[in-house]
Amino acid sequence: MDKVPDGLPQDAENVSRGGFNLHAGPVWRLPADGEVRRFALVIADKHMNGSGYVHGGLLMTFADVAMSQTSRAVSGAETCSTVSLTCDFVGPAKLGEILEARVRVTRHTRTMVFLSADIEVDGRPVAVATGLWKIA
């Protein structure tokens, strides 16, 4: 088992196994909150922009990983591909803060999954993403 960082529940599970997921992560799966699937990322030095805030590319990566994990979980498919993703950047986040993605399934068909993710720090909004996944 991977050591869970401070500030995350002990049953958090690392879902970053390799490649870009691990290079940019790690992303942790948290226990679900009812219908809402939750993921976390602890902001480290490598995740920052030059102004001292978390980089937009990292926020979109985190949203993509959280929603891709959810699309696989709800479809049961081994792989799902991101078809589109829209992200609004609504507030800053800083080094050491814990990003939480709260993912909701809007609709799930035989071939597609429609998802949204609210990314927050302590309940404060940082980014809002929606996206469409194709079940492979």
**Contacting positions for other proteins (CB under 8 A):** 17-21, 23-24, 45-50, 55-58, 60-62, 64-65, 68, 79, 81-89
Task: Tell me the closest approach of the beta carbon of residue 101 to other proteins, in angstroms.
Answer: 13
- The most distant pair of C-alpha atoms in the chain lies apart, rounded to whole Å, by 44
CB-nearer residue toward other proteins: 12 or 133: 133
Closest of 83, 86, 73 to residue 112, by C-alpha: 83
CB-nearer residue toward other proteins: 68 or 70: 68
- 125/120 Cα distance (integer angstroms): 5
| 45 three-state secondary structure | helix
Residue that is written with structure tokens 């219908």 in the block:
35
CB-nearer residue toward other proteins: 19 or 34: 19
Task: Tell me the closest approach of the beta carbon of residue 87 to other proteins, in angstroms.
Answer: 5
Closest of 110, 112, 116 to residue 85, by C-alpha: 116
Task: Tell me the closest approach of the beta carbon of residue 29 to other proteins, in angstroms.
Answer: 17
CB-nearer residue toward other proteins: 12 or 24: 24
Q: Which tokens in the block code for residue 46?
A: 């490598």
